[in-house]
A and B are shown apart, each in its own frame.
Chain A
Amino acid sequence: MEVDLSKITLRPFKLEDADDFLLFAGDDQVTNYLRWQTLSSKQEALDHIKDVCIPHPWRRSICIDNCSIGFISIFPFSGEEDRFKANVGYGVAVKYWGHGIATKALKMAVPQFFADFPDVVRLEAFIDAQNLGSQRVVEKTGFQKEGMLRKYAYMKGKLRDMFIYSFLSTDLPANP
């Protein structure tokens, strides 16, 4: 399958995306390193889009030909000390892995997010030590690896080592 990366777009989710959403959100391989429970029905997909995706401060559908094949979420923290930081997460349908789509989408998302949230200075991503694919995505996007946090959190019931990566607003190229 050839993928023309110039056809990748980002847009907010719509209820009409439910079937496509289920294709990736219903797949254990995609949700393996996410905190989400794998979805198992179109109703769950509809509920998730309505209750989580649409009210989310910044979640975008990754689209090819306007069809949803994945998501990017950037979630600003709340609280006086933390509100200038945001957490990054993403996932792409397995069928589309290996073409650089997540990297392309993340490279598009980062400057858009900083423009939408000018108070945020730090994006961070916590990536499972075993999730090599995702480590490559953030590294190619320009995130800096800051260290490995040992036994940092539980993910799907197992205690995980995680790499912490960051991208600061000052890391954005002057002329994008």
Chain B
Amino acid sequence: MEVTSVVQLDQTKAKDEYPNLSLRPLQVSDVDDFMVWASDEKVTRFCTWEPYTNKEDGLNYIKNIVVPHPWLRAICIDDRPVGAISVSANSGNDKCRGELGYVLAFKYWGKGIVTRAVMMVVETIFVEWPHLERLEALVDVENVGSQRVLEKAGFQREGVLRKYLIVKGRSRDRVMLSFLSTDYQS
């Protein structure tokens, strides 16, 4: 598919619509807010992980995975975490590529929050990581809401990868979407 579209993010308008939305590091002190979305099976339905059942596991996750993560931010409303968004890093010949992931507490679904958070990541990640050429996301074929979020944020759908992952014991097809550094014009 020819890639000719360029996403021009209307930054002023978006800031007005979401004046209290911000991204910041997720900390151990955020664990109670973390547990709100991480223990909810509606939220984890398409995730590769099971819902968290105790705060100890949540603390360990934040200490061992979140804190050393190459790029992970809490999605905050009025500085309270309501979700998280991250970009993974690769090495060697795959260094040009990072994978986007995100999760949001159920109560906040349907308001365009994740779309806005994704746009904020797109605005900064290619600057923070000049070696990054491609941001990609792999979304479950049934997770139509998430596919729409990414398309609204300017990602291009590249295809369906059949039985790409085993999630909770079942093979799942995943839609591959990408956003290139050259797709972005500030």
Contacts and interface: CB of A to CB of B under 8 A. Distances in A.
Interface of A: 35, 80-82, 84-85, 121-122, 124, 144-155, 159, 164, 166, 168
Nearest to A171: B162
Contacts of B134: 150-152
| Chain B interface main SS type | strand
Interface string B54-92: 000000000000000000000000000000000000001
Interface in B163-186: 163-167, 171, 176, 178, 180
A151 B159 contact: no
Contacts of A124: 161
Given A81-B48, A154-B93, A154-B95, A166 B162 contact: yes
A147 B176 contact: yes
A152 B98 CA distance: 10
A53 B25 CA distance: 45
Contacts of B156: 150
Contact of A146 (B48, B96, B159, B166): B159
5 contacts: A81-B166, A84-B171, A150-B3, A151-B96, A155-B93
Contacts of A148: 1, 158-159
Contacts of A121: 163, 171
Question: In the complex, which range does the number of interface residues on chain B fall in?
Answer: 20 to 34
Contacts of B167: 81
A75 B125 CA distance: 32
A146 B93 contact: no
Given A35-B93, A152-B134, A168 B162 contact: yes
B159 A164 contact: yes
B97 interface: yes
A72 B88 CA distance: 31
A84 B95 CA distance: 24
B128 interface: no
Contacts of A151: 96-97, 133-134, 180
A88 B1 CA distance: 24
Contacts of B94: 153-154
B6 to A, nearest CB: 14
Q: Which 6 A-B pairs have the closest CB atoms?
A: A147-B159, A147-B158, A146-B159, A154-B93, A151-B133, A151-B134
A166 B3 CA distance: 23
A147 B166 contact: no
B7 interface: no
Contacts of B48: 81
A28 to B, nearest CB: 18
A4 to B, nearest CB: 35
Contact of B160 (A80, A82, A147): A147
A151 B184 CA distance: 14
Nearest to B183: A150
A150 B180 contact: yes
Contacts of A146: 159-162, 176
A153 B133 CA distance: 9
B76 to A, nearest CB: 29
Interface in B2-19: 3
A164 B161 contact: yes
A144 B167 CA distance: 22
Contacts of A81: 48, 165-167
A67 B159 CA distance: 40
A122 to B, nearest CB: 5
